[in-house]
Structure 1
Amino acid sequence: MPKPRKQQVSIEDTPYYHCVSRCVRRAFLCGTDSVTGESYEHRRGWLENKLLELPQVFAIQIAAYAIMSNHYHVVLYVDSDSSKRWTDEEVVERWHSLFKGNLLSQRFMRGDELNKADLARLQIYLTEWRSRLTDISWFMRVLNESIAREANLEDDCTGRFWEGRFKSQALLDEAALMACMAYVDLNPVRACIAKTPEDSEHTSIKLRAEKAQTAHSPNHLHQQPKELLPFAGNHRQDMPKGIAMKLTDYLELVDATGRIIRDDKRGFISDSSTKILERLGLDEDRWLSMTQHFENTFSTFAGNEEKLRSTCERLQYQRPPGLNRCRTAFG
C-alpha cells in the first residue's frame, strides 16, 4: 500500500521533489495517435503554460520539467519561507485566483467590517490556505485538474485523464538533485524525440539555453528565465535563493551527459563537468546510470545514506526504503 503523502514529504530535510504524472487512458496527453492520426501536440502548450503560471500563485518554484507524450516530469522547489511572509490579503488573493473562496473571504477582500467571531473564523481559513499554497499535492492537483478538464472537453468525454496518484521522490542532497534534473532535462533525448538538449521542446533545459544565448551574463540571477528557479552559483556566504551551481556548469554537464547517452558508450566529459561530478562525489558510471534510470532506480527518497536515515527517522519509517540503492549510488 502506498505511503500517505505526509510520510513522503519532509520540508525540514529537503525542499526539492521530483514528481511524475501519467495519463490513465489510451488517449495521448500530447503527440500523435498512430491509430487515428490525430495530433495532440497543442496540449504540450496547455500543460507548459499552466505549469509555469502556478509558481506565481503557490510558494513552489520549478527547477526542471519535461513534457512527454503520455506523462510529464517536474522537479519542484518548496519555498515555505516565502509563504510565511505573505500578508493575509496576499493569501486570499492567491487563493481566489484558483478558487472562489467563501463569503467571509469575499467580504474581507471587499473591505467589509468583520466582527471578532468572523475574524477568528477567517484566520482558520487563512492558515489552511497558506498551508495548501505550500503543498506539492495541491500544486499537482490544480495543475492536473485544469488540464484534465480541457482534454475531456476537447475529447467530448468524461472520467479520469490522469492516474490516481502522481509519483513523488524526495531529493535529499545536491547529488540527487543534479542527477534528477539532468534525467528530467534529457528525457526527450533518451526518447529520441530531440537530438540535443537545447532542441528539446517544452523542457526547462530549452528555456534556460535560449535565455543564456541572449544574456550578457548567463550566470547572473536576473538574466535567467524568471519562470524557473535560478542557478545561484557555488556555495558562499549570503547565498541567494536558488540552485547551488553555476548555470553554465549545469548546461555543460547536461550536454556532456546527453552525448554519452546518445552514443551509448563512455565519452569525453569536459574538465568543467568532471569537476562538478567530483564535487558531487560521483564517478562517471554512477552518474550515467542515474541520469538514464533515475525514476526507476530510487523509490520515495534519493540521496546519501546519512541523509536518508535521518529523514526516515523524522518521518517515523521502520526502515529506510531503497537504502541499498542509495548506498550504491551515493556511497
Structure 2
Amino acid sequence: MAIPRKHIVDSHSAGFYHCISRCVRRAFLCGHDPFTGNNCDHRKIWLENRMLELAEVFAVKLYAYAIMDNHYHLVLYIDPKAPQNWTDEQVADKWILAYPGKSQFREARKQIILNDKEKLKKYRYRLGSLSWLMSRLNGPLAKQSNTEDFVKGRFWESRFTSIALLDETAVLSCMAYVDLNPIRAGIVEDLQSSLHTSIQKRISELSADITQLARPIESVAGTLKTYPIQMTLTAYIQLVEWTGQSIIHPDKASMPIHINSLLNQMNLQPHHWLNQLTHLGRTNTYVIGSVQQFKNKARLLKKKWLKGIKATRLLYSNE
C-alpha cells in the first residue's frame, strides 16, 4: 500500500529528499523522438535553468540533478521554516519570481501581496513546500511541451516520487546515483560528457575556482544557510568517476585503496557498493537510511516494516 506523501515529507522539519518525475506518454519527450523525428533537447536546457532558478526562490538547496530523455532526478534539502525569517518584501519578490506573469503588472502585484497579510502567510508556507516547488517546475514545462506537440492532457506520468534521505550517507549515495544516470543508461562514458547533470556543472565550474576541490561539498544552487556535506569535492568526484568507469568496464572494477577508504568512512560496504548503487532507484522505497532509521520511521508511521530494509543491510556497514 502506498504511503501518503505527508508521512514521507516532513512539512515542519528540514530534510533531504530524492525526487523523480517521469513523462507519461512514450519516451523521448525531452530528447530525440524517433517516431516524429523531433528533437526536444531544448526542453532539457529549459528544465535545468528552471531548476537552478527555483532553488534561489524556494527554501531549498539543490545538491544533485540529472535530466534524462523521459525523466529527471533531484537531490535537495528543504527547510519549511526558513520563509518564516524572510521579510514581507522578500516573500512578495520570491512569489512573483515563482509566478512571473506580465512584467508591467509585477509592481502592482507586489503591493497587493504586501497589503494582504493572509496572502503573505499563505505564500510563506508555499515557498517552504516541496510540493509547490515541484509544481512550479513541472507545470510550466508540461504546458509548453504540449503546446509544441499540439496535444492536450497529461505530460507527467503522475505526481512526483519523493524519497526521504535520513542521513549523510544516504544523501551521498543518492547524489552519486543521480550523477551517474547518463553513464548507467549507456549514453556517455565520462562525467564531463554527462550533459544536464550536477556533476558536469561542478566539474565545469572548477576552471573558475579550483579551490572548491579541497572544500566540503556545497549545493549547486540555493540561498539557504546549511551545513556542507562532510566530504571534499575532490573525494566525491573521485568516487563518482571510479564508480562510473566500473559500470562501463565491470571486468576492470578492482577497487583502489582510497575509494575503499572513502566508502568505509561513509559507513558503506565496499564489496556491495557497485551493485547497490546500480539498484538504488529500483527498490520503490520511501526512505533511504540505516536499519535503525528504517525501524524508527516505520514506528513513526505505525507500520511493522518499510520496503527497502534488505537493500539497506547490504549497503550500510555494521547493519
Q: TM-score, normalized by length of structure 2?
A: 0.87
| 1:100–1:259 Cα change, 3 Å | closer
Task: State how 1:11-90 maps to structure 2 within 5 Å.
Answer: 15-26=15-26, 28-80=28-80, 82-90=82-90
What's the offset of the Cα at 1:89? 1.7
Sequence identity of aligned pairs in percent?
Answer: 38
* Aligned counterpart for 1:328 among listed residues 298, 311, 314: 314
Residue 95 of structure 2 aligns with which residue? 95
Distance in 2 (alpha carbons) for counterparts of 1:224 and 1:178: 12
Decide whether the 8 Å contact of 1:179 with 1:287 is kept in 2: no
Distance in 1 (alpha carbons) for counterparts of 2:30 and 2:287: 29
Decide whether the 8 Å contact of 1:17 with 1:168 is kept in 2: yes
**C-alpha offsets along residues 16-69 of structure 1, whole Å, 9 cap, x if unaligned?**
111111100126332212223221111111111111110111001211011111
Task: State how 1:121-270 maps to structure 2 within 5 Å.
Answer: 122-219=116-213, 227=221, 241-265=227-251, 267-270=253-256
RMSD: 2.9
**Unaligned ranges ≥5, structure 2:** none
Task: State how 1:97-116 maps to structure 2 within 5 Å.
Answer: 97-99=97-99, 109-110=110-111
Q: Secondary structure at the match of 2:212?
A: coil
Aligned partner of 1:188: which letter?
Answer: P
What's the offset of the Cα at 1:222? 11
Q: Secondary structure at the match of 1:299?
A: coil
Distance in 2 (alpha carbons) for counterparts of 1:32 and 1:113: 45
Distance in 1 (alpha carbons) for counterparts of 2:94 and 2:248: 43
Distance in 2 (alpha carbons) for counterparts of 1:39 and 1:191: 19
Distance in 2 (alpha carbons) for counterparts of 1:254 and 1:16: 20
Q: Secondary structure at the match of 1:245?
A: strand
What's the offset of the Cα at 1:228? 6.2
Q: Secondary structure at the match of 1:281?
A: coil
**C-alpha offsets along residues 101-142 of structure 1, whole Å, 9 cap, x if unaligned?**
9xxx9879438996xxxxxxx433323221211111111111
2:313 paired with 1:319 = no
**C-alpha offsets along residues 265-312 of structure 1, whole Å, 9 cap, x if unaligned?**
462334432222001121223211222111113510011011222233
Distance in 1 (alpha carbons) for counterparts of 2:71 and 2:113: 45
What's the offset of the Cα at 1:202? 0.5
Aligned partner of 1:93: which letter?
Answer: D
Decide whether the 8 Å contact of 1:63 with 1:229 is kept in 2: no
2:292 paired with 1:306 = yes
Q: TM-score, normalized by length of structure 1?
A: 0.84
| 1:109–1:187 Cα change, 3 Å | closer
Aligned length: 312
What's the offset of the Cα at 1:189? 0.5
What's the offset of the Cα at 1:221? 6.2
Decide whether the 8 Å contact of 2:113 with 2:120 is kept in 1: no
Distance in 1 (alpha carbons) for counterparts of 2:268 and 2:155: 39
Q: Secondary structure at the match of 1:77?
A: strand
Distance in 1 (alpha carbons) for counterparts of 2:49 and 2:198: 12
Aligned partner of 1:78: which letter?
Answer: I
| 1:149–1:113 Cα change, 3 Å | closer
Distance in 2 (alpha carbons) for counterparts of 1:19 and 1:226: 16
Aligned partner of 2:306: which letter?
Answer: P
Distance in 1 (alpha carbons) for counterparts of 2:216 and 2:174: 24
Aligned partner of 1:158: which letter?
Answer: K
Distance in 2 (alpha carbons) for counterparts of 1:85 and 1:16: 20
Distance in 2 (alpha carbons) for counterparts of 1:248 and 1:112: 45
What's the offset of the Cα at 1:328? 3.4
Decide whether the 8 Å contact of 2:213 with 2:233 is kept in 1: yes
**C-alpha offsets along residues 186-220 of structure 1, whole Å, 9 cap, x if unaligned?**
01001111110121000000000111244231236
Residue 118 of structure 1 aligns with which residue? none
